[in-house]
Structure 1
Amino acid sequence: MARTYESALSHLAALQSNRAITSLFSPPTIPASPLPPDAVASKAPKQDLNALAIPEMLAWLQRAGLSQDDLAAKLRCIHVAGTKGKGSVCAYLTALLARGDEDIRGVAGKVGTYTSPHLVSVRERIAIDGSPISRDLFARYFFEVWDACTEAARAELAAQQAGRPDGVNGRAGEAKAVSEEELQGPATKPFYFRFLTIVALRAFLGEGVRSAVIECGIGGEYDSTNVLPPSSITASVVTQLGIDHVGMLGGTLPEIAWHKAGVCKPGRKCFTRKLEGKGSTEAVVTAQKTMQVLRQRAQEKGAALVEVADGDVERWGGINASDNAAGSLEGGFQKYNQALAVHAAREHLRVLASESSSNSSEGGQRADTTTNESLHNIPSSFTSALQYARLRGRCETREDEHAPITWLIDGAHTAESLTEVARWFAGKISQYTSKARAILLFNQQDRDAAKLVSGLLEDIKANAVTPTDQGETTIFTHAVFSRNDLKPRVISSDNGEETEPERDLSVQKAAAEALRAIFLATSTSALDNVADAVAEVRALASRNDGERTMVLATGSLHLVGALLRTLEPDAKD
């Protein structure tokens, strides 16, 4: 088997398409650990199907040749959970630690970042000092993990056949007939996200990373990344909360907060935005209950919850993105993510410096970055880093190379995130002349797309209203609703027969109907792939008499990923 990057991608695709494969070996069992009777506010769901996740992940970590001791000895991590803003906080943290001055970089060391999902290349998920690891490094660590899992499965099978309790699970099992192909294949490997988490940790250890910024995939308590040992955590962050992944996390903010607060660690600070609730009495009560859960969970875990108040952040004002840095993070709401990152970075540096001082017989000089916790007194290198922090597909502005189009791109996929996108878009569109055309490119395949697009449009209408000649209100002259598929479906060129069935466009058509109910003057189209959607947008822009066309592309990170690949056909995966 070739150990190339292309081969790694092929093997990774097999994992992704085989998430439902049952492991050859039964997962370890764990005893129940009920919460005390008075812990009602933060009690986990009664039927928690995630309870085996961490023991299973620990077993996979062992199969891959890693241990929590390895991680504790070499890595110091900031663990980031939340519903909205996780990626932005991770981008800011990476910039603060990797782009800091000499003193900060001396304390932080080499900086690794693990995030998800990726938009163009899987290598985006694993970065060192802010840049995705190379194709060669990805292939190297990918196959180190792949081969280690294969050999672990071989050893467990031999132990089972010999009737010995020598496997990872610590007990003998019934011997199974397993082919060599199956041993070397995806059935003896963890599923996609777990596998990449282990690849990232192995890469960080192999490349001498000292500071790691780790983003949770889903939740926190049972997320694969929560195998990080408590002693490796310097600080944690719970970003803005919202309703998402209700099947796994619950359908209310307090339930979701229970899971997210799983990143709290004994003796460490966890930074979160203090929820106060705005508007209705129900919103205020929900915010209070959610904060109660976060506080109780932190107390249960022996962590210190640091609640960052909106008022303090608003008085600070945040740091505007640099106009000279393509892809730097925009949007007024980013100041809240910046504040969380600044606090967590300071705490991370403080812990590292403290460890360094205690381990040094001479107590060497260390970076003075924590003498004042005020947001108004941050190092100048922090200011610069916040300006140049980058995160693809989040409030990203880019100019089209082939048409007079400004693409405004954000992968928001929840109602709350789309509200922020609406405000960002309204601010951007107001900078252009009234002759500028605005087009919407939208999709959301897994949630209620019609409801989400309606909310987005109402928020945009509330922030930026352009009257038409008929006295109606419109923002977009045209809206394109596309599936996330990158290219048109395949049709045989020999006999004209379809080799791929027609794609379902019911979601796109429902979203188009929802838009027409709000903006009667907006024309719409529903397409089954992003390449055709981009071609249609460019064709529409060419008819705008040379005036610039603003295109808001949002609703799904999958849509954004396909869009960026279409706009950057020569980009390496």
Structure 2
Amino acid sequence: MRLRTYSDAVKALNTLQSNFATVEAIRKSGNRKNVKTLLEMYEWTRRMGYKEEEFDKLNIIHVTGTKGKGSTCSFVESIISQYKDGKRISKIGLYTSPHLKSVRERIVINGKSISEELFTKYFFEVWDRLSTTESDLNEFPELGTGVKPLYFKYLTLLSFHIFMKEGVNTAIYEVGVGGELDSTNIIHCPTACGISSLGIDHTFMLGNTIEEIAWNKAGIFKKGTSAFTVPQVPEAIKVIIDRAKEKEVKSFQIIEPRSDLKEIKLGIPGIFQIGNASLACALASAHLTKLGFENVDISTTLPAEFIKGLEETTLMGRCQLIKEGDNINWYIDGAHTKESVKVSANWFKSVSKRNKRVLMFNQQTRDYETLIKILYNNVYPDITFDHVIFTTNVTWSSGDYSADLVSMNTNKDSVDKLEVQKNLAEIWNELDKNSRKHIFHDIQTSVNFTRSLEGPIDVFVCGSLHLVGGFLVVLDGDNKLQA
């Protein structure tokens, strides 16, 4: 039998993506997730050889929200890493999404993405178990022979398997979408749960109102668990409080931004990160207390370990600066929601100091018209762009995607015809007649064009994590770049 490689694993994983037609059919039907989603996750777990209660030994912190949940998870992971004692905490797992350059970024142990070797080994262990076990077709008619979970569900199951096999005893899980019916919500007894800032997003799955979205997000709360949220609009807070009572949480607290964090240089830049860092401190404190650590009270001042963890936190593709010699400053942020694009635009406005500027933007699947207008309204008239580039998320000028970035849930015909990019250019032209607009079919060509411009320049890359991921892949290997 031929040895199966990492490339084989990625190719197999990509077959589990929902294609564009399927995603659109679900979106148009208004058929939101139902409880069957979780029942199937429990069934896949059984077929893998686990009971969901076994995952309690991972000591999981569960985090959801519309924006900031990834940053919150990274802050939590960095804080807790300061308390590794080889016993209560020896291996820390982090499960987040989406990935930027490599799918292995989603599954991290002690601050490092799982290696290609281990990813491949465990990927095919799960694959083979699900291939050789069966479900009761009367109860699960859609789980016939050979059927596998969809992409995100599979990676969620894989993360549990990896963390169990590798002896992880603290894990931080970022929700994929929503909470109540998200595939991560098979967690039985987390040590703490948190909700970052909420907004209107994924409406075809979660609902059209902030109340519906808050109800979904608070679905991760569990009986006897400490639960936290950052301040939300009153309508959302009311729903979250009601859900906390319904779920019988141990305690519930609204975490206001900490004033003392203004004196700390957070590892993830941006004044808005203070709210995420404050939530992370509360989650980490509750977790460490539950594990028996002392002197982790944060009610008055932060322990030195917390401060060190916050300062050392890193998160690729979020408010990230990469310098290319003295000529180009690349300012990179994967903002892709209304709220996050506004925050990202204000971040760029606060850090860009050069007179010549370039915008590189794409958003292939969401309301790109609204997002580009939000970006414009939050930088102009303080910031103007000399050049504005609209590109697809295709990685290379050859027309290929990087293997880990293959996406089947976009309309290939639309991408090939540059439909979104042409529409974006028209919208921008109505907003700004002075900047020069450029449309490119791929990220590599966009980067090469930018490098051909006379500098020095500040370049703002935003609108999509998929764009940022492909951008970082293109930049990889260039030793002139400094993060």
CA distance in 2, matches of 1:262, 1:384: 32
- The aligned counterpart of 2:242 is 296
Query: Which residue does the alignment assign to 2:65?
Result: 82
Distance (whole Å) between structure 1 residues aligned to residue 263 and residue 366 of structure 2: 32
2:358 match: secondary structure = strand
Alignment of 1:302-321 (within 5 A): 302-303=248-249, 304-310=251-257, 313-314=258-259, 316-317=261-262, 319-321=264-266
Matched residue, 2:385:
476
User: Does the C-alpha gap of structure 1 residues 208 and 173 become closer, same or farther in structure 2, counting only changes over 3 Å?
Assistant: closer
Could you tell me which residue of structure 2 aligns to residue 400 of structure 1?
Answer: 324
- Equivalent of residue 338 in structure 2, options 379, 390, 415: 415
2:282 corresponds to: 343
CA–CA distance in structure 2, aligned partners of residues 209 and 87 of structure 1: 20
Q: For residue 446 of structure 1, what is the amino acid of its counterpart? A: T
Q: Distance in 2 between matches of 1:51 and 1:332?
A: 38
Shift of residue 97, structure 1, vs aligned partner: 1.0
Instruction: Tell me the CA shift for residue 151 of structure 1.
Output: 1.1
Query: CA offsets per residue over residues 180-222 of structure 1, 9 Å max, x none?
Result: xxx5xxx421111111111111110111100000011000000
Q: Alpha carbons of 1:561 and 1:288: their partners in 2 closer, same or farther (altered >3 Å)?
A: same
Q: 1:536 to 1:124 in 2, by over 3 A?
A: same
User: Is 1:391 equivalent to 2:350 in the alignment?
Assistant: no
- Contact in 2 for aligned 1:318/1:335 (Cα 8 Å): no
- Residue matched to 1:459: 378
CA contact (8 A) 2:295 2:303 kept: no
Kindly indicate whether residue 192 of structure 2 is the aligned counterpart of residue 269 of structure 1.
no
Match of 2:465 in 1: 557
Q: Report how far residue 47 of structure 1 moved.
A: 6.8
Q: Which residue of 2 aligns with 1:227?
A: 186
Shift of 1:336: 0.5
Report if aligned partners of 1:318, 1:339 keep a CA contact under 8 Å in 2: no
CA contact (8 A) 2:361 2:461 kept: yes
Indicate which of 113, 127, 131 corresponds to 1:150. Answer: 131
Query: How far apart are residue 380 of structure 1 and its match?
Result: 1.0
TM-score (norm 2): 0.89
Who is 1:122 aligned against? Answer: 103
Where does residue 196 of structure 1 map in the other structure?
A: 155
What is the distance in 1 between the residues matched to 2:84 and 2:41?
37
> CA RMSD, aligned part only?
2.5
Contact 2:38–2:185, Cα closer than 8 Å, also in 1: yes
Judge conservation of contact 2:106–2:113 (CA < 8 Å) in 1. Answer: yes
Query: Which residue type is aligned with residue 346 of structure 2?
Result: R
**Counterpart for residue 93 of structure 1:** 76
Superposed displacement of residue 255, structure 1: 0.9
Structure 2 portions without partners, runs of 5+? 23-29, 401-411
Name the amino acid aligned to 2:46. Q
2:399/2:442 contact within 8 Å kept: no
CA distance in 1, matches of 2:84, 2:165: 24
Q: How many Å separate the matches in 2 of 1:244 and 1:252?
A: 9
Summarize deviations over 1:108-141 as a string: whole Å, max 9, x none: 3310000001010111000001110111111111
Deviations 1:141-165 (A, max 9, x none): 111100110110xxx3xxxxxxxxx
Partners of 1:106 and 1:334 lie apart in 2 by: 31
Does residue 445 of structure 1 match 2:364?
yes
For 1:407, the aligned partner's letter is: W
Per-residue CA deviation, residues 37-84 of structure 1 (Å, 9 max, x unaligned), is xxxxxxxxx975422111011001111222113212x21000010110
Letter in 1 for 2:8: S
Give the letter aligned to residue 108 of structure 2: A
Quote the residue 2:294 is aligned against. 367
In structure 2, the partner of 1:324 is none
Higher relative contact order (CA 8 A, sep 6+): 2
User: Counterpart in 2 of 1:14?
Assistant: 15
Distance 2:360 2:310 in 1: 29
Letter in 1 for 2:96: T
- SS of the aligned residue for 1:226 comes to coil
Q: Distance in 1 between matches of 2:67 and 2:429?
A: 29
- Give aligned-pair identity as a percent: 37
- Work out the CA distance in 1 between the residues paired with 2:478 and 2:34: 40
Between the two proteins, the alignment pairs up a number of residues equal to 458
CA distance in 2, matches of 1:132, 1:106: 22
Secondary structure at 2:228 match in 1: strand
- Residues 19 and 192 in structure 1, CA contact (< 8 A), matched pair in contact too: no
Please name the residue that 1:162 is paired with: none
Return the alpha-carbon distance in structure 2 between the equivalents of residues 49 and 101 of structure 1. 38
- Aligned residue identity for 1:149: L
For the Cα contact (< 8 Å) 1:272–1:340, is it kept in 2?
yes
Q: CA deviation at 1:85?
A: 0.5
- Contact 1:82 1:260 (C-alpha < 8 Å) held by counterparts: yes
Q: Which structure 1 residue ranges, 5 or more long, are not aligned?
A: 22-45, 157-166, 276-286, 322-327, 354-365, 466-474, 492-499
The reply to whether residue 536 of structure 1 matches residue 445 of structure 2 is no
Larger Rg belongs to: 1
| 1:487 partner letter | W
